[in-house]
């Protein structure tokens, strides 16, 4: 079964539904990114500094932006888990300001990761995506499963795809920090 691929060339009303759908996918992707980092990195190295940590997660983030992020995180007195979650939340906010082609590329990586999963997991993700597209609420359990599955799918991508995806996430975070 081929994963759902939204047609972005529809009329205005359908375009708004697609935008809402893509925004929801971004939030699922945020969860997938955090879970991937925590569960599938295979490395539990101690952090030497928060700046190094954020630059490890977002490798193309400028030093200035990483320092700004850490300064704001310290002002908020975030725990390590909150630190990672906030980084993903900011990156998601910044994705709004990426170009259309960058957003499409991010969605293609998401679906490519889904395509690496067993059929049963792909079907589950497709059913959740359909539910979201129809405007229905998804449960926390469904969201968590999608995040876990997609996180695992991301771990199966080629290093080149992972690097491209991380570059786009870094660009999104950079943009969000510029606008903070």
Does residue 98 sit within a domain? yes
Which two structure tokens, joined as six digits, stand for 163? Answer: 């690097």
Domain that holds residue 126: 12-41+87-179
Q: What is the mean pLDDT of residues 105-117?
A: 92
- Model confidence pLDDT, tens digit, residues 13-27: 555 666 666 666 666
Does residue 69 sit within a domain? no
Q: What pTM was estimated for this model as a whole?
A: 0.62
Collapsed DSSP state (helix, strand, coil) of residue 14: helix
The phi-psi region of residue 77 (left if phi > 0; otherwise alpha if psi is between -120 and 50; otherwise beta) is left
In this prediction, residue 48 has a pLDDT band, given cuts at 50, 70 and 90, of: very low
Task: Report pLDDT for 49.
Answer: 66
Does residue 78 sit within a domain? no
| Helix boundaries (H) for the chain | 12-40, 50-57, 63-76, 80-95, 100-115, 119-133, 140-155, 159-179
Does residue 139 sit within a domain? yes
Number of domain units in the chain: 1
Collapsed DSSP state (helix, strand, coil) of residue 99: coil
Mean pLDDT for the chain overall? 79
In this prediction, residue 147 has a pLDDT band, given cuts at 50, 70 and 90, of: confident
């Amino acid at each position: 079964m081929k994963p759902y691929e939204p047609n972005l060339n529809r009329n205005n009303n359908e375009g708004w539904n697609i935008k809402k759908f893509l925004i929801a996918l971004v939030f699922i992707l945020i969860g997938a990114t955090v879970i991937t980092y925590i569960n599938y990195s295979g490395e539990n190295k101690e952090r030497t500094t928060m700046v190094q940590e954020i630059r490890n997660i977002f490798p193309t983030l400028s030093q200035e932006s990483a320092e700004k992020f850490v300064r704001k995180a310290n002002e908020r007195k975030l725990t390590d888990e909150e630190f990672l979650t906030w980084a993903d939340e900011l990156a998601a906010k910044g994705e709004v300001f990426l170009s259309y082609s960058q957003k499409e590329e991010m969605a293609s990586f998401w679906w490519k990761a889904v395509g690496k999963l067993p059929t049963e997991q792909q079907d589950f993700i497709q059913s959740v995506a359909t539910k979201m597209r129809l405007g229905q609420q998804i449960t926390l359990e469904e969201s968590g499963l999608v995040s876990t599955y997609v996180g695992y799918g991301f771990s199966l991508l080629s290093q080149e795809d992972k690097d491209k995806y991380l570059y786009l996430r870094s660009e999104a975070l950079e943009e969000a920090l510029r606008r903070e």
